Amino acid sequence: MQTFQNYILGQWVSGDGVEMEQFNAITGAKIGEVSSAGIDFSEVLNYGRTVGGHPLRKMTFQERGRMLKALALHLMERKEKYYEISALTGATRIDSWIDIEGGIGNLFANASLRRQFPDLPYYVDGVAAPLSKNGTFIGHHIMLPKQGVAVHINAFNFPIWGMLEKIAVNLMAGVPAVVKPSEYTSFLTEVVVRDIIASNLLPEGSLQLIVGLGRGIIDHVQTEDTVTFTGSAKTGKLLKGLPHISDRSVSFNLEADSLNACILGEKAVPGTVEFDLFIKEVSKEITVKAGQKCTAVRRILVPESFIDEVQSALISRLASTKVGDPSVDGVRMGALATKLQVQRVRENATLLAKSQEMVFGSLDEVNVHGADASQGAFFSPILFRNNNPFINTDVHDIECFGPVSTLMPYKSLDDAISLARMGKGSLVSSIVTPDDQEAMDYVLGAGSMHGRVLVLNERCAKESTGHGSPMPLLTHGGPGRAGGGEEMGGKRGVLHYLQRTAIQGHPSTITKITQQFQVGADMPEANPHVFRKYFEELVIGETVFTHKHTVTDADIVNFANVSGDNFYAHMDATSLEGTIFERRVAHGYFVLSKAAGLFVDPKKGPVLLNYGLEEARFTKPVYPGATLGVRFTVKEKIDQEKRSEDDIAKGIVKFLVDVYDETGETVALATILTMVRKLDQSN
């Protein structure tokens, strides 16, 4: 037996007494004890804000991303240890894979987001807004890391994924975290956190762990703190409604269990690939993690004309699913996390049984392989049937957080949409159909009541991640009963931990603050040419003012010959009547190509290559006789890590290409991306 510890204030400590005993879900044997009693949560949160927050906020997004990548690699090397311990929660190898490698995958995914952020500790949001006639006063937005702490209250079903998918986001944003996993399975979270702390990859104070009940943990949250809660809607709403949460305007993200629906499309008739996919997907969602997923399918909607075929096929698959000790060959479903969960599932399933028919399974008996059903937290998969779901509506209100789902018929797709929406807001819904129009009609009709919609058919089945798998680059959350929150979501999730602030001033001042060149800012002439400077030497705003070129008819003809672009506006002056053009016009891409010829310094130097073009647009027609010049300005710099010891030390530089004519008016704008060598090759 072991006493699992909290990690707070830079040390591992045990709480006072015993708040909770933890048990092996398969054998019922006692694993250990946990407690967080006696902990001063005010000190814990303040330690995170100060000791952990300061170094995180100083790091750039690039540095934070590299930190997350290193942490992911560190944990991946130790994953087999986590699999061994995960089995004590009743999880099969596949169940554990979702929790362990799915969680680590969140670290990798969020690390990759660094490419979407500037090389700064804060984010520059959107584009500048002109606020004055002469351009000397503009506005912009920046988003700064909140100087608070993220308090994550997680559910029992994903002790690793639940932590990693959340801290990946707040750490990427530059905000420290205090993680409070469920006391029932926190022994697994504790093992992972010990490896994280021992790695020394995170700044001290950026991650703290509470393994016990954590009573009072959110009593001390302040305005810049963020609370996330994953679990029952009832508990989540109770916490979110605490007066001090509202009084201090504390951000509270609620992700609650919901009555998710899977719909079999009318075109997915028996005998089609999609029909078979539906049966496989639904049966998997009933049994994976023993149904203990907030995204599991609770309501199964099928056309009434073949509901009997669906029922028969589902029963056949469920009957072949072996329940028991995951270490036994052939076992496909393990135990629930605790006997308390068994009790709760049975209570709610008993309520559902009053208004619908049980067509498979038992509330009291389960055939278990390799274990003693009376000792472990086992529960039979159960399939209900509700022939009148518009009348017998308990199914849209009562959730069994286990391997329980209800089959119900619909007469038309509109009925299916109405039934799906009767869940009062869900994390996810899915439709299995070979017909894209049917998929579109469902998504547009039901989507506003679901945080995510999966469309499954033969074309995507091999690579589909499935109904129940939230992805780190997509939002996870949902309206109504699901809590109304969002977490993850790629860049969207990171922005959740940042405070958007409007800034106003002269373009040069805004350029300094944003570290991005703003039109109207000072443009000191580059000397030497910017292509002769190394990454560290380049200064935001410095500009090359090029020589001029007068466009001729021959330029247009020659470019058409080279490019093959013989669009009439360039080549046929007799076809311009009724168009916006006065006479034959130069190709937009000729204008950019000629601009490159003007701004490029051709000799070998620090510039390695040009690898991209962004935000290109042509703002004024260029006719033969126009004289073009270019203002070529350092717009933004982004550091880049070396991929190996032999890699060239370099950074990314964005240049603003402003092409103007003899009147001084801009005719074309673009941003080019270049790789520029660094001075110090050891970086």
Query: CB within 8 A of 643, min separation 6: which ones?
Result: none
Angle at 459 between CA 453 and CA 464, to 5 degrees: 50
Label each residue of 634-656 as H, E or C: EEEEEECCCCCCCCCCEEEEEEE
Angle at 275 between CA 270 and CA 280, to 5 degrees: 130
Active site residue 255: yes
Within its chain, how far is the Cα of 412 from the centroid?
34
- Among the listed residues 33, 183, 224, 255, the single catalytic one is 255
> 555 with 586: CB under 8 angstroms?
yes
- Among the listed residues 190, 274, 281, 294, the single catalytic one is 294
- Region of residue 214 (left: phi > 0; alpha: psi -120 to 50; beta: else): left
383-392 exposure pattern, b = at least 16 Cβ within 10 A, e = fewer: bbbbeebeeb
Active site residue 262: no
Provide the Cα torsion 677, 678, 681, 682; round to 10°: -140
Cis peptide before 528 (omega within 30 of 0): yes
> 602 with 669: CB under 8 angstroms?
no
Distance of alpha carbon 405 from alpha carbon 434, whole angstroms: 24
Distance of alpha carbon 302 from alpha carbon 299, whole angstroms: 10
Distance of alpha carbon 202 from alpha carbon 198, whole angstroms: 10
> 202 with 196: CB under 8 angstroms?
yes
> 189 with 209: CB under 8 angstroms?
yes
Could you report how far apart the first and last alpha carbons of the chain are, in Å?
Answer: 49
Q: Residue 361: which of 346, 382, 334, 385 has the closest Cα?
A: 382
> 322 with 75: CB under 8 angstroms?
no
Tell me the one-letter amino acid at 374.
S
Helix (H) or strand (E) holding 293: none
Distance of alpha carbon 105 from alpha carbon 471, whole angstroms: 9
The per-residue DSSP string of 135-165 comes to SS-EEEEEEEEPSS-EEEE--SS-TTHHHHH
> 540 with 511: CB under 8 angstroms?
yes
> 429 with 453: CB under 8 angstroms?
yes
Distance of alpha carbon 256 from alpha carbon 245, whole angstroms: 18
Q: Three-state DSSP class for 121?
A: coil
Catalytic residue list: 255, 294
